[in-house]
Amino acid sequence: MVREVTDKNFAEDVLKAEIPVLIDFWAPWCGPCHMVSPVVEKLSDDYVDKLGFYKMNVDEAPITAQNYGIMSIPTLMLFKNGQRVDQIIGAVPESSIKTMISAVL
């Protein structure tokens, strides 16, 4: 299950999370974002209780997007212990995302 995260709940839900977290930075007008979204949804089912999955609409959460230097979307960012540990920019195959996830689990 992929949940929404905003500027207001980012610190609580992501930085203080007890398990690693993957955030999908996206926007409704972004075509490649719509290609990545179903892959992220599927992976959220595959990694239940091992990894938290969130989506952040960059149009509605500009502060966090700016703080993390989001210049292109989709951007998938992986956090562990409150720190950014990896990221992927652009529409990539599921295998690339799994490789990134495997490195932190």
Active-site residue, selected from the candidate residues 2, 14, 30, 40: 30
Active-site residue, selected from the candidate residues 2, 14, 22, 33: 33
How far is the first Cα of the chain from the last one, in angstroms, to the nearest whole number?
18
Element (H, E) at 67: helix 62-67
Alpha carbons 39 and 76: distance in angstroms, whole number: 11
Give catalytic status of residue 30 as yes or no.
yes
Give catalytic status of residue 55 as yes or no.
no
Q: Which residues are catalytic?
A: 30, 33
